[in-house]
Amino acid sequence: MGLLEKFVTEESIFTKERDALRSSYLPERLLHRDEQLDRIAGILSSAVRGAAPSNVIFYGKTGTGKTASARFMQKEMLSTTTPVPVKYIYINCEITDTPYGVMQNICSSVLEGSKQTPPPSSGLSIEKLYEILVGFLKENRHILIVVLDEVDRLVEKNGNDILYPLSRINEDLVKGSSVSLIAIANDLHFTERLDARVLSSFSGERILFPPYTSTELKNILRDRAKLAFKEGAVSEGIISLCATLGAQEHGDARRVLDLLRVAGEIADRSGEKIIREEHVYKAKQTIESDCISEAIRTLPHQSKIVMLAILLRCCGTLQTTTGELYATYKALCNHTGLTPLTQRRVTDLITDLEGLGLIQTNVRSMGRGGRTRFMHACIPFEDALSVIEEDDLFKNLKIRKLFQAKLF
């Protein structure tokens, strides 16, 4: 331990390995995923024998160990000797979310270490990139395993544009080289969005990652807590509490790891040597309010204006109707210089906001066959407003002044 490092950890309940609680940390072993890992190993074992593995889809809600399993297999593959060189390429499609980006990423990884220069990050056609990849694989025997993590995102944005050529590429290759896909989706209905042609290339290989039970979450947490906290800082009771709260939500391992980490940070800041239940409850609150802020922050501009219009109309607990809301929405568009959408489109955005849990709506019949949709915000007015105000679009709007002057 370095001279200074000692002081950093001396007073803390965390060890030097507090990153073990982060979701990017890859643990030594994955618990309760033997069935999934065995199936994946079975599929990828073809590569070890020099043949192309089948394409496979991993699906399950967030925090069920899909990314961890893909990275775990990457480690296993790298430590195995194979008759044909195997390249395992991991792409997160939330970051690389265009067909060009995906293709460029694959080409660059494949050409790495060869004499050929990698293609530029823009400017060529997809067809050209495809040609480069096929050309290289024809001359150099390689088995590629391409992980497309968060693939839902790619398909949502680009349809089957990139999955189709990738899933068919082996037809253009010569013996010895191949490309296999591991597509990872959080959306359980992901396959419904695939073309029949693409789907058939996955030949039924789908691996489900079910939510963890509270006992499973407890075991996962215990492993990580041992690394991240000093002895005695976390009791079995605290692990159980975190696991129970996590299982009530949806068995998401990432959420429980976050919960324990934030609880640890809260205990640490108040100078305590052990985590107590109140720290866990406080952590839960902090995480929930961070999630809401993040949901608002990442809304597209039009949805932000609709959200703002609802906040201003409701101002706390009041309700508003679609008609009233639309008038306020149009006024806000006017002030910000955005072109207003039609009422129909705004209604779609309202439905999206409800899906995110930011607002609630209900439809009431108003006599003579008329039906009106009422809505109200489900989040604290002040918190939401201050997140919206961060956006440059609203910087000059002086929302609060207009609001006080009852201009809305």
Q: Supply the minimum distance, in Å, between the C-beta of residue 68 and ligand ADP.
A: 3
Q: Supply the minimum distance, in Å, between the C-beta of residue 134 and Mg ion.
A: 29
Tokens describing residue 224: 């990580």
Q: Does residue number 36 form part of the binding site for Mg ion (CB under 5 A)?
A: no
The H-assigned helical ranges of 202-321 are 214-228, 236-249, 253-269, 277-297, 301-314
Instruction: Report what 211 binds from ligand ADP, Mg ion, none; CB cut-off 5-8 Å by kind.
Output: none
Instruction: Report what 326 binds from Mg ion, ligand ADP, none; CB cut-off 5-8 Å by kind.
Output: none
Q: Does residue number 67 form part of the binding site for Mg ion (CB under 5 A)?
A: yes
The alpha carbons of the chain give a radius of gyration, in whole angstroms, of 26
Residue nearest to ligand ADP (CB): 65
Nearest-angstrom CA–CA distance, 287 and 258: 8
Nearer to ligand ADP, 173 or 221 (CB): 221
CB atoms within 10 A of CB 274: 14
Contact footprint for ligand ADP (CB under 6 A): 23, 25, 27, 30-33, 60, 62-68, 209, 220, 253-254, 257
Tokens describing residue 46: 């073809």
Instruction: Report what 276 binds from ligand ADP, Mg ion, none; CB cut-off 5-8 Å by kind.
Output: none
Instruction: Report what 374 binds from ligand ADP, Mg ion, none; CB cut-off 5-8 Å by kind.
Output: none
Tokens describing residue 192: 């419904």
Nearer to Mg ion, 14 or 212 (CB): 212
Q: How many CA atoms lie within 13 A of 13 on its CB side?
A: 23
| Sign of the four-CA dihedral 244, 245, 250, 251 | negative
Q: Does residue number 64 form part of the binding site for Mg ion (CB under 5 A)?
A: no
DSSP codes of every residue in 47-65: HHTTSPPPPEEEE-STTSS
Q: Supply the minimum distance, in Å, between the C-beta of residue 291 and ligand ADP.
A: 15
Nearer to Mg ion, 57 or 379 (CB): 57
Q: Supply the minimum distance, in Å, between the C-beta of residue 66 and Mg ion.
A: 5
Q: Does residue number 12 form part of the binding site for Mg ion (CB under 5 A)?
A: no
Instruction: Report how far apart, in Å, the C-alpha atoms of 244 and of each of 228, 247, 251, 254, 351 are.
Output: 20, 5, 9, 14, 31
Nearer to Mg ion, 67 or 104 (CB): 67
Q: Does residue number 74 form part of the binding site for Mg ion (CB under 5 A)?
A: no
Q: Write out the residues near Mg ion by the rule CB under 5 A.
A: 67
